[in-house]
């Protein structure tokens, strides 16, 4: 390995050791967040921000926010210090769309909320929102957008059920269901969700079918895309007339911003703006979504393992490490991508074994030897085993896997004993350096016929992949 790569990876280790100290960080919530309803301090937010192996130096140790939950080893959000905090005057052009709203379109102030029915901080802020609704009446509109977090298994079923109630019984029934879901947050089994939907007036069989078939997935996906557009990386996340407010903030923070916006709205009305046009007028000059990050793709190694067809419209390149807990966590999403897109997307694996993972490079050598003996099919068979939650990466475990796959053990032992396949691993390390990839997993979503791809860093949810793959499919030649 050349000196510049060694230096870069040493820097990665210095930054990353606190966040990637062990697989337990990827599988359990941070302290204080063990179960919904845990006590949280003012301004706490449950966050899914940048679930990546390598946090920026200023972010400190993953999970450092008191009472906060970190998604997939993600970046903790420090309430009150974020550039999108309660003190920010930055305004964003966040669309209301057709989302459920409590309050009229002619309201002086509009709050757009991104929330998750299983997030304890979303439940915690509900009392504040209800008090605000009483305090301001028809002068305030609260718009609800779904942002179910991947580590809350009942958040999506709850969202599906609430939207099914809305489809069947209308806006008032939706809000009754919304309130009931948060009131019964600790009991969100599917049977409970269906029972709550019945109480709101919907039919049990249609609600159960909507949950099973994810009937409202497109609507939820649209909300998640908007959240991603405006970096609404945690729940609850609010935009008050386009101005962000993060977390379960105290009522005083909401009131201060609402009162400021009330004055601005009344000035617009005095100037002739129609009440129904207030929100659009207030946010029309707000910041719009930035284009997603792209990087030019240099000549990547041609012999790396491929899963999918050469005719695929999109190629997803993954730089990963077999010992990285976040690479393990990302596997479910990668498999979902393959299931949803089929022949339209192919996956290419690139090795990036990190120096503080002692078993990562031997595992990479083993997977490459499987490929050498049995082609890409054998590689992916071993790959899937090594990235299992229950996988072990000792030499004895690798040998056992090789026997299970029916590999030639004489060739296998000779290769692993001699440190084989270093050239392939080095080629991937050089490619990673050229691309500025210094953490795992990192993905590049490349449309066919393009010399650049969209970047995804970390064990991000399917929504992130879906958004960029759809964009890449539209660009493919």
Domain boundaries, the chain: 3-70, 101-283
Amino acid 145: pLDDT:
98
Going by the DSSP 8-state scheme, the letter that residue 343 receives in this structure is G
Say what the pLDDT of residue 390 is.
83
- Which residue in 454, 460, 83 sits closest to 291, CA to CA? 454
Decide: 454 and 292 in contact? Cβ < 8 Å. Answer: yes
H/E stretch holding 318 reads strand 314-320
| One pLDDT digit (tens) per residue for the chain, 477 residues | 443 444 443 333 333 322 232 222 222 222 222 222 222 333 444 433 333 333 332 222 222 222 223 333 332 233 333 333 444 689 999 999 999 999 999 999 999 999 999 999 999 999 999 999 999 999 999 999 999 998 899 999 999 999 999 999 999 999 999 999 999 999 999 999 999 999 999 999 999 999 999 999 999 999 999 998 998 988 999 999 999 999 999 999 999 999 999 999 999 999 999 999 999 999 999 999 888 899 999 889 999 999 999 999 999 999 999 999 999 999 999 999 999 999 999 999 999 999 999 999 999 999 999 999 999 999 999 999 999 988 899 999 999 999 999 999 999 999 999 999 999 999 999 999 999 999 999 999 999 999 999 999 999 888 889 999 999 999 999
Distance, C-alpha 21 to centroid of its chain: 21
Long-range contacts of 466-473 (CB under 8 A, 24+ apart): 466/221, 466/225, 466/337, 466/340, 467/224, 467/225, 467/228, 468/292, 469/314, 469/316, 469/337, 469/341, 469/345, 469/445, 471/292, 472/313, 472/314, 472/445, 472/446, 472/447, 473/313, 473/314, 473/344, 473/447
pLDDT at 88: 66
Neighbours of 87 (CB within 10 A): 13
Angle at the Cα of 280 (from 277 to 286), degrees rounded to 5?
155
Instruction: State the distance between the two ends of the chain, measured CA to CA, in whole angstroms.
Output: 36
CA pair distance 176, 182, nearest whole angstrom: 10
From CA 158, how far away is CA 101, in angstroms rounded?
Answer: 18
**pLDDT at position 36, please?**
28
pTM: 0.70
In the CATH hierarchy, which top-level class contains the domain 101-283? Answer: alpha beta
Angle between helices 204-213 and 155-169 (to 10 degrees): 130
Tell me which residue has tokens 């080095």. 426
């Amino acid at each position: 390995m050349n000196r510049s790569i060694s230096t870069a990876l040493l820097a990665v280790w210095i930054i990353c050791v606190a966040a990637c100290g062990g697989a337990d960080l990827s599988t359990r919530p941070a302290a204080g967040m063990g179960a919904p309803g845990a006590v949280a301090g003012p301004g706490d937010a449950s966050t899914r921000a940048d679930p990546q192996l390598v946090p920026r130096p200023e972010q400190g140790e993953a999970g450092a926010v008191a009472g906060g939950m970190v998604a997939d080893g993600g970046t903790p959000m420090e309430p009150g210090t974020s550039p999108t905090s309660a003190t920010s005057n930055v305004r964003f052009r966040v669309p209301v769309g057709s989302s459920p709203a409590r309050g009229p379109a002619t309201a002086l102030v509009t709050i757009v909320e991104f929330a998750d029915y299983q997030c304890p901080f979303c439940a915690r802020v509900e009392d504040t929102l209800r008090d605000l609704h009483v305090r301001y009446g028809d002068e305030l509109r609260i718009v609800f957008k779904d942002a179910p977090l991947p580590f809350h298994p009942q958040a999506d079923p709850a969202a599906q059920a609430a939207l099914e109630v809305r489809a069947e019984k209308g806006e008032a029934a939706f809000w009754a269901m919304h309130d009931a879901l948060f009131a019964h947050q600790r009991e969100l089994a599917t049977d409970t969700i269906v029972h709550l939907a019945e109480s709101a007036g919907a039919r049990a069989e249609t609600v159960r079918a909507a949950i099973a078939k994810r009937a409202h997935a497109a609507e939820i996906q649209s909300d998640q895309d908007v959240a991603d557009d405006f970096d609404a990386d945690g729940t609850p996340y609010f935009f008050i007339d386009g101005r962000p407010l993060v977390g379960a903030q105290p009522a005083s923070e909401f009131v201060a911003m609402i009162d400021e916006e009330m004055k601005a709205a009344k000035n617009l009305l005095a100037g002739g703006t129609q009440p129904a046009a207030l929100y659009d007028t207030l946010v029309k000059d707000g910041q719009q979504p930035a284009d997603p990050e792209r990087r030019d793709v240099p000549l990547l190694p041609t012999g790396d393992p491929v899963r999918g067809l050469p005719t695929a419209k999109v190629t997803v390149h993954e730089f990963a490490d077999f010992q990285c807990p976040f690479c393990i966590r990302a596997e479910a999403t990668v498999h979902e991508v393959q299931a949803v897109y089929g022949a339209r997307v192919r996956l290419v694996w690139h090795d990036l074994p990190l120096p503080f993972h002692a078993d990562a490079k031997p595992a990479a050598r083993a997977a490459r030897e499987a490929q050498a003996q049995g082609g890409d099919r054998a590689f992916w068979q071993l790959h899937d085993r090594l990235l299992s939650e229950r996988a072990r990466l000792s030499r004895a475990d690798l040998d056992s896997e090789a026997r299970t796959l029916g590999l030639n053990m004489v060739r296998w032992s000779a290769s692993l004993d001699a440190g084989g396949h270093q050239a392939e691993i080095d080629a991937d390390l050089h490619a990673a350096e050229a691309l500025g990839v210094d953490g795992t997993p990192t993905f590049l979503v490349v449309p066919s016929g393009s010399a650049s791809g969209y970047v995804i860093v970390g064990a991000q949810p399917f929504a992130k992949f879906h958004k960029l793959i759809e964009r890449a499919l539209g660009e493919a030649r």
